[in-house]
């Protein structure tokens, strides 16, 4: 039997199982609540699996490995930003969203601030950056197929884009939750499986460390020798606030059985998240020592796997990457499609749309959005991590701050919410665009100044205006603990 045969055996066993789960999930879906929210009966372990698998996309094996490879331990500040966002999301935002108990985040903001048009505008902003995020996920899948089967990169992107779209169309949230739970274990195993081979090839850990000190002496320090304090701080805040403003994660809490499950999911995700990145750090460090110079660092992990690991293990690990790609892509797609249907179509065009018609439109929206992301994937304007950071910069600046304040700043007014969202989105987008076209220096990342300015604007506007009865009533509803087990 050939090398490729055994690789395919490992690859397709995992893939077949994932699609089996998607089909079973499809048969369980009866209405939009089932499709979007898995009937609001998700236990903590499924939420943990979904948060983990969605956050750890194929970017872990490509983009993040490349970042650790180039910049050393400084990259921990990105992961720590996400880790602290889990504490805020699961303990301070999730319980309130569960008490609110609707479908989307724009829907929450519109009701919290008694402003229906806020729902449409926030949904448009979210959908735009989420398509960029989808593009980055397709790049991961495209690189995988290109490397595995030698197919043309553009063809690989089209195949993965259509596959992800179909997969999400069929499964909905049941498939997202179930396959994410399985994907989480597959990708954890996929990461672990490489380590013994890496240590063996690198000549043991002490040998790897000696090599690293020769090629990049500050690799293990908290700034890695190639990053400034301000850049590291910016990474921390981009990822922390980006996640706070990411409906893909926040809507998970609408699916929870009760608030207790939300809290349990906070413990679970925190126990798993950072240890995984410590593992990735060790993997990337070993790769740096084994391949001191490589043309495209995003391919360093996959290159090692194909050169040094038995074929069936490679097949399994590649399936882990594909599982990570699918689990992230279906989350982004489903969240964006839900928002397009509920917040834009139903809210602005057809308030009395039937449940059946809305379900059909949702599935069409999933396919359309996955097709829109394909050109971004083919274009591949920059590295995976850069694409993701642009998306999270806009998410954090426009939504993260406003969502957090909306739950704890009682006197925050409708006008302040509008001002915060618009100013945050505008400053971050314009600033970053001018940096990308070379008009202004890239030395200062916009996230910290944007957050500070948006915060000041929200406070000033809130002081200058008055909250309405409706906004105060909604604020009180979020704190009504009698809803915790409803």
Partner 1 sequence: MQWLKDVFFCFFNVFLQIAIAVIMGLIWLKNDRFPWEKTSQEKD
Question: To the nearest whole angstrom, how small is the minimum distance from the Cβ of residue 227 to partner 1?
Answer: 12
Q: In this chain, which of 51, 137, 212, 458 binds partner 1, going by CB under 8 A?
A: 212
Question: To the nearest whole angstrom, how small is the minimum distance from the Cβ of residue 463 to partner 1?
Answer: 25
Tokens of 33: 């609540």
The C-alpha torsion from 185 through 186 and 187 to 192, rounded to 10°, is: 90
What's the rounded Cα separation, in Å, for the pair 178 and 50? Answer: 8
Q: In this chain, which of 110, 240, 263, 280 binds partner 1, going by CB under 8 A?
A: 263
Looking at the Cβ atoms of 307 and 480, the one nearer to partner 1 is 480
What's the rounded Cα separation, in Å, for the pair 321 and 143? Answer: 11
Looking at the Cβ atoms of 96 and 432, the one nearer to partner 1 is 96
Considering only residues 267 to 286 of the shown chain, the ones binding partner 1 according to CB under 8 A are 267, 270-271, 274-275, 277-278
Token pair 């413990």 is at which residue? 267
Question: To the nearest whole angstrom, how small is the minimum distance from the Cβ of residue 102 to partner 1?
Answer: 22
Is 13 among the residues that bind partner 1 (CB under 8 A)?
no
Looking at the Cβ atoms of 129 and 236, the one nearer to partner 1 is 236
Size of the site for partner 1 (CB under 8 A): 31
Q: Which of 370, 434, 335, 379 is nearest to 126 (CA)?
A: 335
Question: To the nearest whole angstrom, how small is the minimum distance from the Cβ of residue 188 to partner 1?
Answer: 16
Burial class of residue 166 in the structure, from the number of CB atoms within 10 Å of its CB (0-12 exposed, 13-18 middle, 19+ buried)? middle
Looking at the Cβ atoms of 260 and 357, the one nearer to partner 1 is 260
Question: To the nearest whole angstrom, how small is the minimum distance from the Cβ of residue 476 to partner 1?
Answer: 9
Question: To the nearest whole angstrom, how small is the minimum distance from the Cβ of residue 263 to partner 1?
Answer: 5
Question: To the nearest whole angstrom, how small is the minimum distance from the Cβ of residue 241 to partner 1?
Answer: 16
Considering only residues 372 to 411 of the shown chain, the ones binding partner 1 according to CB under 8 A are none
Q: In this chain, which of 246, 264, 363, 432 binds partner 1, going by CB under 8 A?
A: 264
Contact between 446 and 430 (Cβ < 8 Å): no
Is 472 among the residues that bind partner 1 (CB under 8 A)?
no
Cβ-Cβ contacts under 8 Å for 380 (sequence gap 6 or more)? 139
Contact between 100 and 477 (Cβ < 8 Å): yes
Token pair 């990337």 is at which residue? 284
Q: What values do phi and psi take at 212, rounded to 5?
A: -60, -45
Considering only residues 89 to 118 of the shown chain, the ones binding partner 1 according to CB under 8 A are 90-91
Binding mask 215-254 for partner 1 (x = CB under 8 A): ---x-xxx--------------------------------
Is 477 among the residues that bind partner 1 (CB under 8 A)?
no
Looking at the Cβ atoms of 61 and 282, the one nearer to partner 1 is 282
Q: In this chain, which of 266, 315, 377, 399 binds partner 1, going by CB under 8 A?
A: 266
Looking at the Cβ atoms of 133 and 269, the one nearer to partner 1 is 269
Contacts for 455-459 with beta carbons within 8 Å, 24 or more apart?
A: 455/401, 455/405, 455/420, 457/416, 457/419, 457/420, 457/423, 458/401, 458/402, 458/405, 458/409, 458/412, 458/416, 458/417, 458/419, 458/420, 459/416
Considering only residues 152 to 211 of the shown chain, the ones binding partner 1 according to CB under 8 A are 209
Considering only residues 50 to 79 of the shown chain, the ones binding partner 1 according to CB under 8 A are 73, 76
Q: In this chain, which of 28, 40, 260, 477 binds partner 1, going by CB under 8 A?
A: 260
Looking at the Cβ atoms of 268 and 420, the one nearer to partner 1 is 268
Question: To the nearest whole angstrom, how small is the minimum distance from the Cβ of residue 253 to partner 1?
Answer: 14
Considering only residues 75 to 94 of the shown chain, the ones binding partner 1 according to CB under 8 A are 76, 80, 83-84, 86-87, 90-91
What's the rounded Cα separation, in Å, for the pair 145 and 318? Answer: 9
Question: To the nearest whole angstrom, how small is the minimum distance from the Cβ of residue 90 to partner 1?
Answer: 8
Stretch touching partner 1 by CB under 8 A, among 389-397, 398-406, 425-433, 477-485: 477-485
**Where does this chain bind partner 1 (CB under 8 A)?**
73, 76, 80, 83-84, 86-87, 90-91, 209, 212-213, 218, 220-222, 260, 263-264, 266-267, 270-271, 274-275, 277-278, 480-482, 484
């Amino acid at each position: 039997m050939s090398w490729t045969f055994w690789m395919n055996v490992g690859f397709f066993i995992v893939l077949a199982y994932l699609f089996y789960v998607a089909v079973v999930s499809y048969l369980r879906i009866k209405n939009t609540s089932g499709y979007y929210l898995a009937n609001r009966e998700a236990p903590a372990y499924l939420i943990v699996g979904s948060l983990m698998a969605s956050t750890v996309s194929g970017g872990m094996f490509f983009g993040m490995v490349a970042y650790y490879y180039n910049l050393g331990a400084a990259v921990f500040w990105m992961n720590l930003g996400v880790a602290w966002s889990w504490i805020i999301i699961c303990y301070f935002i999730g319980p309130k969203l569960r008490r609110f108990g609707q479908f989307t985040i724009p829907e929450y903001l519109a009701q919290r601030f008694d402003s229906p048009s806020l729902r449409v505008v926030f949904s448009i902003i979210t959908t735009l950056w989420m398509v960029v995020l989808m593009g980055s996920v397709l790049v991961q899948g495209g690189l995988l197929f290109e490397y595995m089967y030698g197919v043309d990169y553009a063809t690989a992107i089209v195949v993965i884009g259509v596959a992800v779209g179909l997969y999400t169309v069929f499964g909905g949230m049941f498939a997202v939750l179930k396959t994410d739970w399985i994907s989480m274990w597959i990708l954890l195993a996929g990461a672990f499986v490489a380590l013994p081979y890496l240590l063996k090839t690198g000549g043991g850990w002490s040998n790897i460390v000696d090599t690293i000190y020769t090629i990049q002496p500050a690799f293990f320090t908290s700034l890695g020798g190639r990053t400034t304090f301000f850049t590291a701080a910016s990474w921390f805040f981009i990822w922390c606030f980006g996640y706070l403003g990411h409906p893909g994660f926040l809507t998970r809490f609408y699916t929870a059985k009760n608030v207790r499950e939300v809290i349990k999911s906070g413990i679970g995700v925190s126990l798993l998240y950072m240890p995984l990145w410590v593992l990735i750090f060790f993997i990337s460090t070993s790769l740096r020592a084994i391949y001191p110079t490589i043309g495209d660092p995003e391919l360093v992990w996959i290159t090692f796997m194909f050169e040094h690991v038995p074929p069936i293990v490679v097949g399994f690990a590649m399936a882990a990457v594909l599982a990570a790609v699918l689990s992230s892509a279906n989350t982004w797609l489903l969240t964006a499609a839900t928002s397009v249907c509920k917040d834009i179509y139903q809210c602005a065009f057809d308030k009395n749309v039937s449940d059946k018609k809305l379900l059909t439109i949702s599935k069409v929206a999933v396919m359309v959005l996955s097709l829109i992301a394909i050109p971004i994937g083919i274009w591949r304007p920059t590295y995976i991590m850069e694409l993701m950071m642009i998306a999270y910069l806009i998410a954090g600046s426009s939504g993260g701050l406003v969502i957090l304040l909306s739950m704890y700043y009682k006197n925050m007014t409708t006008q302040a919410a509008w001002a915060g969202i618009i100013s945050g989105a505008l400053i971050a987008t314009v600033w970053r665009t001018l940096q990308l076209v070379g008009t202004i220096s890239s030395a200062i990342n916009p996230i910290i100044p944007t957050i500070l300015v948006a915060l000041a604007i929200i406070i000033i506007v809130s002081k200058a205006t008055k909250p309405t009865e409706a906004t105060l009533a909604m604020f009180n509803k979020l704190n009504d603990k009698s809803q915790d087990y409803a």
